[in-house]
Amino acid sequence: MTTRPPVLRGGSTPGLVVAVVVVAVILALAVAGGGGSVTSSPTTTIGASVVAPSSTTSTPLGSTTTTVVPSRPQPGWTVASRSARGVLVDFRMVTVGGVAFRAVRLRARTTLLRWHVGSTDPSAASQVPADAGPVVDWPTEGRAGVVAVFNGAFKQAAHAGGSAVDGLTLVPLERGLMTVALDAAGHWAMGVWGSANFPPRGFRPIALRQNLVALVSGGRPTAAAASPQWEQWGSTIGNVPAIARSGLGVDGAGNLVYVATMTPVTPLRLAQALVAAGAITGMELDINPFWPIVGASFTPLHSAGPLPVQLPRSMHDPTIYEVGGWTRDFFVALAEPASWTCHWSSPGVRATGRVQPQPLRLVGRCR
């Protein structure tokens, strides 16, 4: 079996394993500079039925004179936010089989990702520290700046897989299921739990979230995605195969890609949308009309604020994650510092079985 060379935060191997950032590669690209302020775009709502109300990163890098190429815009994608490092988050609509999907992409070299539990699900959520609680942790995550949020996966009662965060196993992990893993620096990896190369060598997760089997592998929908046994992809309202669905994948550059639609679709159509958005490996997230939620900002948010890039016809404004707390799990994407000589990280999990809070701190010297 051939393998892909290591890529920044997430790249993949054909065996459903997505490789993560390799520090040695990054050190070779390190740079001694790069300040600058984040630019913003006009505050307009994109693809939402409700306008977001107004209110007031990720790899250790060495210090050399090498110039790091910024994360560049890509034709067909619209930039939501950027910094001196380049594009943070971009978005587009992808159309598959006449159905439009919102796609939001987190750039691997400029963003980091955190996972949060819901207020009522999983059942052990009350034991989780504030940094992974049911609302954006503004005292720590707000320092970096929130650039996107999106829904998690099935509720605990669906028995679709396990989860763990900050040293606490919330639901036991299951071999053979697709898993998104996050480390202390917010790097991500996606692959099959228990397979030979997942988690990747040297990757130390602080958060793990599973949901069912692989939806996309090797840049194609899996046989399971195309199976007539659609019930394996979750219980739907009305017991019909087509329903509102969301999914998560990683592309060949290691970027994280979220896709969702409120139009009823089959699991296969969701898989095709992930592939159309560039994913080479992917998994299903939550389904049914009440749960797909995504939002992206035009500038990193250091306190609760608008998330105007949204899912058309979503039943919720994504700012529900910002204050008060949400019932189900979700992900928060943050901006790395503008400088390439520092990054955000948390302490890391030393051993499982005891709760270990993971507040963010700057590592390195920002120049």
Other CB atoms within 10 A of residue 39 CB: 12
2 domain residue, yes or no: no
Q: Can you tell me which residue has the tokens 């790091």? A: 68
Q: How many helices (H) and strands (E) does the chain have?
A: 4, 20
Cβ proximity of 257 and 249 under 8 Å: yes
Q: Which two tokens stand for residue 83?
A: 């910094």
The structural domain count of the chain equals 1
Contact of 37 with 216, CB cutoff 8 Å: no
| DSSP secondary structure letter of residue 30 | -
Residue 163 lies in a domain: yes
- Bond into 172 cis (ω within 30): no
Burial class (CB in 10 A: 0-12, 13-18, 19+), 197: middle
Stated as kind and residue range, the H or E segment containing 267 is helix 267-276
**Which tens digit of pLDDT belongs to each residue from 218-273?**
999 999 999 999 999 999 999 999 999 999 999 999 999 999 999 999 999 999 99
The answer to whether position 232 is within a domain reads yes
The model's pLDDT over 17-38, given as tens digits with 9 standing for 90+, comes to 333 333 333 333 333 333 333 3
Q: pLDDT by residue (tens digit) across 145-155?
A: 999 999 999 99
Residue 5 within any structural domain of the chain: no
Sequence-ordered list of residues with C-beta below 8 angstroms from that of 79, at least 6 positions apart, any chain:
41, 73, 87, 89, 90
Instruction: Name the burial class of residue 96, with classes exposed (0-12), middle (13-18) and buried (19+) by CB atoms within 10 angstroms of its CB.
Output: buried
Secondary structure (3-state) at 20: coil
Q: Burial level of 294, CB count in 10 A (0-12/13-18/19+)?
A: buried
Domain presence at residue 263: yes
**Torsion sign across C-alpha atoms 130, 297, 102, 219:** negative
- Tokens 């210090």 correspond to 63
Q: What is the DSSP letter of 71?
A: B
Question: In this predicted model, what pLDDT tens digit does every residue of 272-331 receive, in sequence order?
Answer: 999 999 999 999 999 999 999 999 999 999 999 999 999 999 999 999 999 999 999 999
Does residue 6 fall inside a structural domain? no
Percent of all residues in the chain with a pLDDT value above 70, rounded to a whole number: 82
Supply the range of the domain harboring residue 270.
23-364
